[in-house]
Amino acid sequence: MSNQTYTVIFYLFAALTVFSAAFVVLTRNVLYSAFSLLFTFFGIAALYVFLSADFIAVTQVVVYVGGILVLLLFGVMFTNSIMNPGQKSEVFNIIPGLVIFAGVIGTLLYTFFNTQGWRTPAEPLQGSIVERIGFETMSRYVLPFEMVSILLLASLIGAAFLARFDKTGK
Amino acid sequence: MEQLTTIGLNHYLTISAFLLGFGLFAVVTRKNAIVILMGVELILNAANLNFLAFSKYNGGMEGVMFSLFIIVIAAAEAAIALAIIINIFKLFKSVDVSSIDSLKE
């Protein structure tokens, strides 16, 4: 792949990510936000591939698109009446929101583009990293791995317990 | 021009800054709890993108492992948050965060 094609494809996915994220925030319809989030997650997964983190990209698609987005859509369907399709979510604090948005982006971009001290790539990641992830998970990160698995189990049981339909009444 | 056509660290950091900004904007301005949750997901994705970008240009595996753990914790967070939102909906018949004020005098 030539360098120019690489750049064009990168900008395509970057634009997809940023514009669909903007649409998530700017549209008033909750359902449209959820579906626009789908494109954001896919764009981010594509950017992960550019960062040579192919395993993370696949995980992103499986967990975010297959899990979290479906959960969010369920939440939208549960909490808004389907009979009322023009469901709008109200907006408030527009001015503080805009100030925070502009402030955060301005500060971060100013810092990024004025910092010369980023470490130069001595040896950037290349190729597939699946094998290295496996080694790291089972050697250096085995304790966090087990802890996070227990945390996930506990939180999923807790979520199912919290959201269950209470038949017996109070 | 050369800086624009050679993809480097700053490009990823810029995208991540925009995602963070949009996520914060959603959290601050929206009343619907589910859209606030979407904003939190955008913020987590921005952090993930930063970790992976720094990991790529540093050559180490630390950022990759961190982003894997972030994805797991984001899944747990989304499940718990939706359970709480569904309970709030059962109690208040609405997910409008500014109408949930039982603790207010």
Q: Which residue from B minimizes the CA distance to A7?
A: B5
Whether residue B53 is predicted with pLDDT greater than 50 in this model: the reply is: yes
pLDDT reading at A130 higher than 80: yes
Q: Does residue B38 carry a pLDDT above 50?
A: yes
Proportion of chain B above pLDDT 90, given as a percent: 45
How many domains does chain A divide into?
Answer: 2
CB A129 within 8 A of CB A54: yes
- Please report whether residue A58 resides in a domain: yes
Average pLDDT over chain A, rounded to an integer: 84
CB atoms near residue A137 (< 10 Å):
15
Residue B22 CA to residue B35 CA, distance in Å, equals: 12
Instruction: Examine the domain organization and report whether A84 and A160 are in the same domain.
Output: no
Over residues A69-112, the pLDDT tens digits come to 998 888 888 777 655 655 566 777 788 889 999 999 999 988 88
**Is residue A161, in this structure, part of any structural domain at all?**
yes
Is B32 part of the contact surface with chain A (CB cutoff 8 Å)? yes
Domain termination site, one of A62, A89, A116: A89
**Largest separation between any pair of C-alpha atoms in chain A:** 66
- More confident call, A114 vs A121: A114
**Domains in chain B, start-ordered, CATH in brackets?**
8-95 (1.10.287.3510)
Do residues A73 and A151 share a domain? no
Neighbouring C-beta atoms of residue B29, cutoff 10 Å? 24
What is the number of residues in chain A?
A: 170
Q: How confident is the model at residue A38 (pLDDT cuts 50, 70, 90)?
A: very high
Question: In this complex, do B34 and A48 lie within 8 Å of one another by their Cβ atoms?
Answer: no
What's residue B103's pLDDT?
78
Q: Is residue A105 part of a domain?
A: no
Report the CATH number that the domain containing residue A50 is assigned in CATH. 1.20.120.1200
pLDDT of residue A119: 63
Tell me how far apart the alpha carbons of residues B84 and A133 are, in angstroms, rounded to a whole number.
34
Sorted by sequence, the CB contacts under 8 Å of residue A11 that are 6+ apart come out as: none
**At residue A1, does pLDDT exceed 60?**
no
Closest CB to A24: pick one of B42, B49, B87.
B42
Q: How far apart are CA A84 and CA A100, in angstroms?
A: 33
Nearest CA in chain A to B36: A25
Residues A72 and A136 in one domain: no
Place of tokens 């698995």: A149
Q: Which residue of B has its CA nearest to A10?
A: B7
Once rounded to an integer, what is the mean pLDDT over residues A42-61?
A: 90
Does residue A113 form part of some domain? no
Tell me: do A13 and A80 sit in the same domain: yes
Are A78 and A155 in the same domain? no
Q: Which of B72, B17, B3 has the alpha carbon at shortest distance from A145?
A: B72
Q: How confident is the model at residue B42 (pLDDT cuts 50, 70, 90)?
A: very high
pTM: 0.88
> Residue A147 belongs to what domain range?
128-170
Any domain includes A68: yes
State how far residue A147 is from chain B, nearest Cα, in angstroms.
Answer: 10
Residues A4 and A67 in one domain: yes
The whole-number pLDDT of residue B41 equals 92
Which region among A21-35, B39-53, B89-103 has the lowest average model confidence (pLDDT)?
A: B89-103
Buried b (16+ CB within 10 A) or exposed e, A66-87: eebbebbbebbebbbeeeeeeb
Per-residue pLDDT at A86: 56
Q: Is B97 on the interface with A (CB under 8 A)?
A: no
For B91, the token pair is 């109690």
Report the residue from B15, B35, B69 with minimal CB separation from A144. Answer: B69
What span, in angstroms and rounded, lies between the C-alpha atoms of B91 and B101?
12
Identify the pLDDT of residue A168. 61
**Residue at A18 is within a domain:** yes
Q: Tokens representing B50?
A: 């930063």
Residues A135 and A77 in one domain: no
Of A89, A115, A144, the residue at which a domain comes to its end is A89
3-state secondary structure B22-63: HHHHHHHHECEHHHHHHHHHHHHHHHHHHHHHHHHHHCCCHH
pLDDT value at position A170?
Answer: 46
pLDDT of res. A81: 62
Do A80 and A132 fall within a single domain? Answer: no
Contact call for residues B83 and B102 (beta carbons, < 8 A): no
Q: What is the pLDDT of residue A18?
A: 93
pLDDT over 90 (residue A3): no
Rounded average pLDDT over B30-48: 91
Residue A102 lies in a domain: no
- ∠ Cα A54 A57 A58 (to 5°): 90
For residues A45-56, average pLDDT = 89
Is B89:A150 a contact under the CB 8 Å cutoff?
A: no
Write the pLDDT tens digit of every residue in B55-100: 888 777 888 899 999 999 999 999 999 898 888 888 888 778 888 8
Which is it for the CA torsion A106, A109, A115, A118, positive or negative?
A: positive
